[in-house]
Structure 1
Amino acid sequence: MAKAPDSTDVTEAEREGTDTAVDARRPPAPVAPRASRGFPSAVSRTGRVGGLDGLRTLAVALVIVHHVEPEALPGGAVAVDVFFTISGFVITRLLLAEYVRRGGISLPSFYRRRWLRLVPAMLAVCAVCAVLGTTTSLWGFEGSLEAAGLSAAFLTNVVRAMESGPYSDLTAPLAHTWSLGVEEQFYFLWPLALIFLLRRFRARTVLLGTAALCVLPLLWRCVLWNPDAAHRIYNGTDTRADQLLAGALVAVALARLRADDPRLALLRTWTGRLAWPALGLLALVAWQVPVTEDLGRWTAAYYTIGFLVVAVLSATLVAALELRPETALSRLLALTPLAWVGRNLSYGVYLWHYPVVRLLASLGVQEGRLAATVVLTLLMALLSYYVIERPFLRRAHRAKAPRPTPVPATATT
């Protein structure tokens, strides 16, 4: 039986650091005339999707196995690509819902929510690594002070992108935060681009513009590609943006379609049919494709068109989980343990798993290292969630968002 929320509950919207929970407790701001016509389903598609939460859990599990036992899952880093697409989808549908509900998007409020959601937990990880690096002789945390500074500023990916040869030790203790740098930079730029599109173009053109933006990183990768540019392509926000934009495209497309639109029924049918094949192909990449190694022509293909192919597969999976909650795959991924971990702990697990891997390696732990990594990482993620993340999310929930500047009604139809 569902439990009625009380003043101590953290709602789904709070977990994402959004204004949805605030809207439920006070009348919404006036919506610009005709604002909902272009995106009739934007507000109705803001609830949590249990299957997506479970997919987060599956993805972070692949990353852990990849970092502990890389020979078992040489392509496990593809799970980060899936995270990118999920992030683009979730952020975009929340922005569109705010646009329809309030008649505009408050950028200061959005950036503040993102800061409260991501930065406090990141700073805690950076602080622990810096302390271990400066007070112990553990080799896994040498240089942690510099790495912590880059990670806290979400610049790890920028440093790694500028290294043409083997990665240096500059970011090594917190090397996994490169993906958080990509996401944070996307969170800064994409709302600006989306507001520009919403203010100046009809909703259909917003959809087409988002689709066009998905293609630009592919063309840019083809221009940049050579073996020495592999790090530049792998770590660059501009070269990985199509994976986030693929999720954004799904969010825009679904917000455009009414519940009775025959195109939505067609999309629901085909995403349901393609969900298992998409998941299977992603699993095949994780199992068989060492995406971070130099494999000659294969690497060239993967680092140009391959990233977009993975984005399409991830977007198909995201759309299927959103549109077909009744399928076996959706029900499997929405199982309570998987969904709860994905909803509450996936960010903390990702933050802490790599320092834990390096800690155990520095201590010489070999037997049972994967199990020890999982247990210790979950403990740190639980501590992070209850002590750091949840209190800051409550603060984001209590904050009153500034009223955004309304978007002209003529740009929304």
Structure 2
Amino acid sequence: MILDNRNIKQLDGIRGLSILIVFFSHLGLGHLVPGGFGVTVFFFISGFLISKLLIYEFEQSKTLNFKNFYIRRAFRLYPALLFFSSLVILLLIFHDVRLIPSQIVAALMYFENYYYVYFINYQEQHQLYSIFKILWSLSIEEHYYLFYPLFLFLTYSRVRLHLVLTVLFLIIPLLFRLYYVEILVDPKLYEKYNYSLTHTRIDSILYGSLLAYLLFKDSRGEKILEFLQKKWLLVLSLAVLLFTFVYREDSFRETYRYTLQGIFLTPVIVFAVYGDQSLLNKLFFTNKVFVYIGKLSYSIYLFHWLAIPLATLYFTKFGLQWQLFVLAVTISLSLFSYYRVEMPFVKLRKKFGSNV
């Protein structure tokens, strides 16, 4: 396996497809489009890409520069997050909605997922408050990256220990999900816990990290890659993923679904990134349109959720005017954020070792 720190075009294409899944699900097609799966894919490829970059850094310098890593993360996420949060605050003020300081702190400190589950009931509040809810997934990612670089550093050369602990860390979130299903009983309640909390969803990122470690650090990486590229395994994986979409039993969906998706996404991602440049690959994973949308995916993810409750104040939800308004606001703010807010920080990120 060739290990480098270059951007992977196919992952941008996958991001593009994933954000479209999320967007159209929230645009009123949630009964047809599995929006939650789009977020799960984001988690997986985030774990894979960032772990690959950390492994490359370790191979080059025999250590990890934690300070530079977290500075890069801050320059990647905070510019858009601050812009997004500022707009939300202005919207709240404009619509004469009381600001909740603790909610703003939770948003900026990556605590929104726990704040949403334990401290606020958005259904009893003004709908503009719920804009911050979209930050639940960013909270999980940042909690994960507080832990994973240190874990990788401490176990990097001890492959067996690393793999044993990784399997343990993959099992623990599943056990939490099973526990919440058992004690909470109500599907609406345990879905809220199991879908949004760090300790119930962090395995979705770890599966991606495990793939990177197996391919680029484990001495059996080439054989593992060869196995994961078996066509029968790809067909099986697609069948299992399809099963997780169509089987609607509540307790399964909030427990084993995430585990199965994490496991069986692995051959699909390997096919997309390392498979031959088939027509399917060119149509989707390396398609210029999807790759471009993938580069905008972080901005789209944030600002489509700002557009939705704003549109609902003025138009009938899911109506044509509502959908056009959401589309226009999402595109406008996403492009402005990407080019005017986020891109100026790319050079600063590169000063601290970024090549993505």
Aligned to 1:299: 250
Mapping of residues 286-325 of structure 1, within 5 Å: 288=246, 298-325=249-276
Q: Which runs of 5+ in 1 are unaligned?
A: 1-40, 291-297, 402-413
Aligned to 1:244: 205
The aligned amino acid for 1:373 is V
Structure-2 separation of matches of 1:289 and 1:359: 33
Following superposition, the deviation at residue 367 of structure 1 comes to: 1.9
Q: What SS is found at the alignment partner of 1:213?
A: helix
Following superposition, the deviation at residue 203 of structure 1 comes to: 2.6
TM value normalised by structure 2 = 0.86
Mapping of residues 58-69 of structure 1, within 5 Å: 58-69=17-28
Distance 1:308 1:186, change over 3 A: same
Query: Does residue 335 of structure 2 align to residue 377 of structure 1?
Result: no
Distance 1:359 1:325, change over 3 A: farther
The aligned amino acid for 1:105 is L
Following superposition, the deviation at residue 54 of structure 1 comes to: 1.3
Aligned to 2:136: 178
Cα deviation digits, residues 258-301 of structure 1 (max 9, x gap) = 79944432222x2x544466456546756x567xxxxxxx2112
Structure-2 separation of matches of 1:164 and 1:289: 31
Equivalent position to 1:158, from 104, 107, 114: 114
Percent sequence identity over matched residues? 24
Q: What SS is found at the alignment partner of 2:152?
A: helix
Equivalent position to 1:187, from 145, 164, 170: 145
| Structure with greater helix percent | 2
Structure-2 separation of matches of 1:229 and 1:264: 37
Query: Does residue 274 of structure 2 align to residue 335 of structure 1?
Result: no
Structure-1 separation of matches of 2:343 and 2:78: 13
Query: Does residue 282 of structure 2 align to residue 326 of structure 1?
Result: no
Mapping of residues 66-85 of structure 1, within 5 Å: 66-73=25-32, 75-85=34-44
Determine if contact 1:182/1:236 at 8 Å carries over to the other structure.
yes
CA RMSD across the alignment: 2.8
Following superposition, the deviation at residue 257 of structure 1 comes to: 5.4
Structure-2 separation of matches of 1:74 and 1:338: 17
Distance 1:330 1:393, change over 3 A: same
Following superposition, the deviation at residue 166 of structure 1 comes to: 7.5
Structure-2 separation of matches of 1:280 and 1:180: 29
Deviates further, 69-78 or 347-356: 69-78
Aligned residues: 344
Cα deviation digits, residues 23-58 of structure 1 (max 9, x gap) = xxxxxxxxxxxxxxxxxx4x6253333222111111
Query: Does residue 148 of structure 2 align to residue 196 of structure 1?
Result: no
Structure-2 separation of matches of 1:110 and 1:70: 38
Deviates further, 45-54 or 60-69: 45-54
Mapping of residues 62-141 of structure 1, within 5 Å: 62-73=21-32, 75-136=34-95
Distance 1:236 1:249, change over 3 A: same
Following superposition, the deviation at residue 222 of structure 1 comes to: 2.0
Deviates further, 231-240 or 344-353: 231-240
Aligned to 1:36: none
Q: Which runs of 5+ in 2 are unaligned?
A: none
Structure-2 separation of matches of 1:213 and 1:155: 21
Structure-2 separation of matches of 1:280 and 1:56: 21
Distance 1:189 1:237, change over 3 A: same
The aligned amino acid for 2:47 is G
The aligned amino acid for 2:161 is T
Deviates further, 303-312 or 146-155: 146-155
Distance 1:152 1:168, change over 3 A: farther
Determine if contact 1:63/1:77 at 8 Å carries over to the other structure.
yes
The aligned amino acid for 1:96 is I
Deviates further, 210-219 or 239-248: 210-219
Structure-2 separation of matches of 1:203 and 1:310: 24
TM value normalised by structure 1 = 0.75
The aligned amino acid for 1:238 is H
